[in-house]
Amino acid sequence: MGKKRIVQKTEEELLKEKDKMEAVLRREGPVKTIQKTTQGRIYISSSYNNTILTLTDDTGNVLAWTSAGRLGFKGTKKATPFAASKAAEAMALNIKNLGIEKIEILIKGVGSGRESAIRSLAARGLDIVSIKDVTPIPHNGCRPPKVRRV
C-alpha cells in the first residue's frame, strides 16, 4: 500500500460546485414557462422506502418535486420521518418562491413519513385548504388461484 493522497480542490472548483448545488435547489435550467397561480396541490407519496412530494397546479401540471433521496438521504434513512420532514421543508421553499398561497394535500401510501411531512408543511406557515388520503384500498382483493389438481 502506498501513501494516501488527499485531493485538494481549488477555490474556483469549490465555487463552481456551490453554484451547481444552488442551481439544483432553485431548479434552474431548461424549465418551461409557468403561469402564476395562487393555488396548488401537493401529492405526498410515502412508501416503505422513500417519501416523494410533488407540487402541481390545479390542472395537474407539475411545478416542482422533491424526495428524501434527492436531498441526499440513502438506504433506510430515506424512509424515516426526519427525511420526510426535510423534504417537506424543501418543498415549502419551492412553494414560497413560486408564490403559491393555498395548497391542497393528497397523501398516498403507508410509509412512516406521512404525518411528519404534513406537520412540516403546516409549520412553515402554508395555508392548507384540505388534506385528503388517496391510498388505494382493494374492495374485494385479488382473484384466488385455481384449485390445485394432483
Q: Which three cell numbers stand for residue 86?
A: 426535510
Give 136-148 pLDDT, tens digit per residue: 988 888 888 999 9
Percentages of the chain per state (helix, strand, coil), in multiples of 5: 35, 25, 45
- What is the pLDDT, as a whole number, of residue 142? 86
Q: Where are the domains of the chain?
A: 37-133
- What is the pLDDT, as a whole number, of residue 25? 66
- What is the pLDDT, as a whole number, of residue 34? 55
Q: Which three cell numbers stand for residue 27?
A: 431548479
Q: Which three cell numbers stand for residue 55?
A: 407540487
The string of DSSP codes covering 5-36 is: --PPPPHHHHHHHHHHHHHHHHT-SS------
Q: How far apart are CA 134 and CA 138, in angstroms?
A: 12
- What is the pLDDT, as a whole number, of residue 66? 93
- What is the pLDDT, as a whole number, of residue 14? 79
Statement: residue 43 has pLDDT above 90: yes
Statement: residue 1 has pLDDT above 80: no
CATH 3.30.420.80 matches 37-133? yes
Give 59-103 pLDDT, tens digit per residue: 889 999 999 999 899 999 999 999 999 999 999 998 988 889 899
Q: Which three cell numbers stand for residue 138?
A: 382493494
**Average pLDDT rounded to a whole number, residues 44-51:** 94
* End-to-end Cα, the chain, rounded Å: 63
Q: How far apart are CA 144 and CA 26, in angstroms?
A: 50
- What is the pLDDT, as a whole number, of residue 24? 66
- What is the pLDDT, as a whole number, of residue 120? 93
Give 3-38 pLDDT, tens digit per residue: 777 777 788 887 887 777 777 666 655 545 556 788
- What is the pLDDT, as a whole number, of residue 37? 80
- What is the pLDDT, as a whole number, of residue 38? 85
